[in-house]
């Protein structure tokens, strides 16, 4: 039976009055120590001071009523209209896919019934890592192992902490089982160290080798060669002294447990997967004589969860290579976006259905606001290192349906 949106009751958000410890899905770290409290009927982050956590948990509830062509409608009418669009389509694209494991499972089921193409909003950056994993494999580690064992940490790219703001605080600036925070060495190859925006003892003490993201292809291949024992005739590589790279190579070879970290989304240049492969092959060379591992960071909008869930459901990774062609050929688009209302669907002149966060502002044939996992409903997400699945709590009350509920009802209409 189809539900009906009750806009009057959804205008009032009922919050728990006591302090809550919640898990934050705003980035791939899934920090599970966020203290929340109801202050004057507003959800507030008490600690820690993380801008991403504040933006996520303190967001309001905007559009709580489904819309058809911009006009308020019942949930039943919106689902019937969406079903009509899907039924008439022969070249569907389901994109966005910003959701948790339960939401993705429901979306995958609907895609199988409608033969829709699937593509995550982070398709391009996901493909960079995936191409390396598929072509040559890699040796990676977990965040817990970084905390417990890493004595040398190399970060490639300047925006690592813009994606995972508490990485140093939670996994580097703390003592592990086999290494203390004071005994870690941190090297950053980037345009800036973010020292003015990120408070981290390790980052303040880091050895920064200034370089742009566009220079990383040259620098990573040179570092790979030096770690392999090759001699370079050049004295500088993209403005970085070869002597400094040799010193870095020596530090890596002397480390008990070296970690090389990167964020694929920041490597936005042609053939960026080759730069990632330089990093992972450097790890492979180091592992002949010592211990080393790669650490792909980032992880946002449920991309890690979507890829993992798609792999176990289909036997294949979430492959988005044909996405651009599908955009030019599609005859209808479904945009799913539970977490990031500021991110918009691709431009299309075909019928567009949006199912997502109540704060999304975009014209669509059908818009159905849904509960956000970790805020309006419970759920689960994979952490960026894929080593653990963490539960998301429901921390406020409203009558928004979950994505799985909406898609389940939508699929019923297509049987």
Query: What are the tens digits of pLDDT across the range 366-375?
Result: 999 999 999 9
The CA angle 267-23-140, to the nearest 5 degrees, is: 40
Counting residues of the chain whose pLDDT is more than 90, the rounded percentage is 78
Q: What is the dihedral of CA 227, 230, 231, 233, to 10 degrees?
A: -100
List residues bridging with 336 in a β-sheet.
355
Whether residue 116 is predicted with pLDDT greater than 60 in this model: the reply is yes
pLDDT value of position 192? 60
The mean pLDDT value for 55-74 works out to 92
Contacts of 252 (CB under 8 A, 6+ apart): 152, 154, 227, 258, 282, 286, 292
CA distance 162 to 396: 27
Taking CA atoms, 58 is separated from 17, 26, 42, 322, in Å, by 15, 12, 7, 37
Query: 94 φ, ψ to 5°?
Result: -105, 115
Whether residue 273 is predicted with pLDDT greater than 70 in this model: the reply is yes
CA distance 237 to 235: 7
Beta strands 71-72; 67-68: pairing state: antiparallel
Contacts of 55 (CB under 8 A, 6+ apart): 26
Question: How much is the pTM?
Answer: 0.90
Whether residue 198 is predicted with pLDDT greater than 70 in this model: the reply is no
Taking CA atoms, 12 is separated from 7, 36, 127, in Å, by 9, 19, 41
The mean pLDDT value for 349-355 works out to 96
Taking CA atoms, 222 is separated from 235, 241, 287, 295, 350, in Å, by 11, 11, 18, 20, 48
- Confidence at 217, pLDDT banded by 50, 70, 90: very high
Tally: H helices and E strands in the chain: 15, 21
pLDDT single digits (tens) 86-100? 999 999 999 999 999
Of 122, 96, 126, 103, the residue nearest 341 (C-alpha): 96
pLDDT value of position 333? 96
The highest-level CATH class for domain 137-297 is alpha beta
Counting residues of the chain whose pLDDT is more than 70, the rounded percentage is 91
Whether residue 303 is predicted with pLDDT greater than 90 in this model: the reply is yes
CA distance 75 to 411: 14
Which class for 171: exposed (0-12), middle (13-18), buried (19 or more C-beta within 10 A)? buried
Q: Is 100 helix (H, G, I), strand (E, B) or coil?
A: coil
The mean pLDDT value for 165-183 works out to 94
List residues bridging with 14 in a β-sheet.
397
Residue 359 half-sphere exposure toward CB, CA atoms < 13 A = 14
Position with higher pLDDT, 281 vs 210: 281
Q: What is the dihedral of CA 397, 399, 404, 408, to 10 degrees?
A: 160
DSSP string of 192-261, one letter each residue: ---TTT---HHHHT-EEEE--GGGHHHHHHHHHHHHTT---S-SEETTEEHHHHHHHHHHHHH-SSEEEE
Position with higher pLDDT, 6 vs 382: 382
Of 104, 141, 134, 109, the residue nearest 120 (C-alpha): 104
pLDDT value of position 201? 75
Residue entry with tokens 């020596």:
250
pLDDT value of position 329? 82
Position with higher pLDDT, 243 vs 363: 243
- Confidence at 206, pLDDT banded by 50, 70, 90: confident
CATH 3.40.228.10 in the chain is located at 137-297
pLDDT value of position 7? 34
CA distance 194 to 206: 11
CA distance 99 to 375: 12
CATH 3.40.50 in the chain is located at 7-122+302-413
Contacts of 200 (CB under 8 A, 6+ apart): 161, 168, 169, 172, 173
CA distance 141 to 383: 13
pLDDT value of position 2? 37
CATH number listed for the domain at residues 7-122+302-413: 3.40.50
And the tokens for 393? 């709590």
Whether residue 323 is predicted with pLDDT greater than 80 in this model: the reply is no
Other CB atoms closer than 10 Å to residue 269's CB: what's the count?
11
CA distance 47 to 348: 41
Of 10, 145, 25, the residue nearest 392 (C-alpha): 25
């Amino acid at each position: 039976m189809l539900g009906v949106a009750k806009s009057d009751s959804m205008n009032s958000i009922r919050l728990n009055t006591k302090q809550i410890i919640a898990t934050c899905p705003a980035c791939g770290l899934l920090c599970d120590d966020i203290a929340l409290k109801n202050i004057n009927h507003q959800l507030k982050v008490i600690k820690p001071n993380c801008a991403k956590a504040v933006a996520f948990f303190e967001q309001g509830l905007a559009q709580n009523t489904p819309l058809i062509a911009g006009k308020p409608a019942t949930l039943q009418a919106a689902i019937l209209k969406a079903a009509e669009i899907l039924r008439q389509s022969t070249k569907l694209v389901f994109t966005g896919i910003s959701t948790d494991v339960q939401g993705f499972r429901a979306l995958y089921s609907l895609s199988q019934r409608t033969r829709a193409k699937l593509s995550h909003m982070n398709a391009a950056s996901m493909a960079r890592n995936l191409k390396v994993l598929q072509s040559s494999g890699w040796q990676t580690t977990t965040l817990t192992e970084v905390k417990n064992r890493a004595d040398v940490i190399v970060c490639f790219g300047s925006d690592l902490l813009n994606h995972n703001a508490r990485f140093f605080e939670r996994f580097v600036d703390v003592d592990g089982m086999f290494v203390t925070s004071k005994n870690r060495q941190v090297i950053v190859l980037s345009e800036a160290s973010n020292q003015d925006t990120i408070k981290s003892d390790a980052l303040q003490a880091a050895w920064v080798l200034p370089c742009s993201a566009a220079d990383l292809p040259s620098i990573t291949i040179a570092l790979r060669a030096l770690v392999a024992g090759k001699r370079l005739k050049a004295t500088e590589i993209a403005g970085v002294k070869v002597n400094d790279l040799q010193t870095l190579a020596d530090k890596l070879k002397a480390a008990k447990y070296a970690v090389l970290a990167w964020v694929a989304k920041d490597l936005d240049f042609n053939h960026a997967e080759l730069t990632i492969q330089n990093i992972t092959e450097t790890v492979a060379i180091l592992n002949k004589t010592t211990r080393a591992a790669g650490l792909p960071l980032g992880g946002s909008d449920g991309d890690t969860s979507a890829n993992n869930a798609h792999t176990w459901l289909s036997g294949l990774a979430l492959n988005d290579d044909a996405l651009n062609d599908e955009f030019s050929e599609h005859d209808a688009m479904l945009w799913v976006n539970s977490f990031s209302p500021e991110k918009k669907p691709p431009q299309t002149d075909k019928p567009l259905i949006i199912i997502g966060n109540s704060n999304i502002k975009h014209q669509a044939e059908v818009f159905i606001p849904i509960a956000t996992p970790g805020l309006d409903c419970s759920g689960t997400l994979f952490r960026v290192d894929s080593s653990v699945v963490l539960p998301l709590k429901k921390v406020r009350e409203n009558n928004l349906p979950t994505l799985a509920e909406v898609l389940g009802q939508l699929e019923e209409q297509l049987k």
